[in-house]
Amino acid sequence: MEGIRLRWLGQRLGLEKMVLKKGVLIGTFIADQKHAFFESDSFNAVLRAVQAQPRRFKVYEKAGTLRISVQNVKNVHEAKEAMEGVVGASTKAEAT
């Protein structure tokens, strides 16, 4: 059940795919880099999370797609908590 909720959170953040392997959660953003999502409050919340915790979050490009990695994620529950923190920042930005 946690895995489904994690996928929903990922979709709210514009992630098409997520993989949890060796303590690292890797999410792949929407392939179309001109998509309106990249100018949205949700994407800005992701960038704020990366700036606030640069050792935990990293955004990078690989094979033409933008990705985010989250370090020190031991299980699906921790992955969900990390994504909820980013979504929470997005919700606060939309409220202002």
CATH number of residue 12's parent domain: 3.90.1150
Is a pLDDT exceeding 50 seen at residue 96?
no
Strand partners, 58: 69
Q: What's the pTM value of the predicted model, to 2 decimals?
A: 0.82
pLDDT, tens digit (0-9, with 9 covering 90-100), for 27-37:
999 988 888 88
Q: For residue 22, what is the DSSP state?
A: T
Amino acid at position 19, single letter: V
> Which residues constitute the domain of residue 45?
2-95
Q: Which two tokens stand for residue 80?
A: 């969900």
CB 2 within 8 A of CB 59: no
pLDDT, tens digit (0-9, with 9 covering 90-100), for 48-70:
888 998 899 999 999 889 999 99
- What are the backbone angles phi and psi of residue 17, rounded to the nearest 5°? -150, 145
41 pLDDT band (50/70/90 cuts)? confident
* Segment among 4-8, 52-56, 82-86 with least mean pLDDT: 82-86
- CA neighbor of 46 nearest in space, from 35, 31, 58, 34: 58
Number of domains in the chain: 1
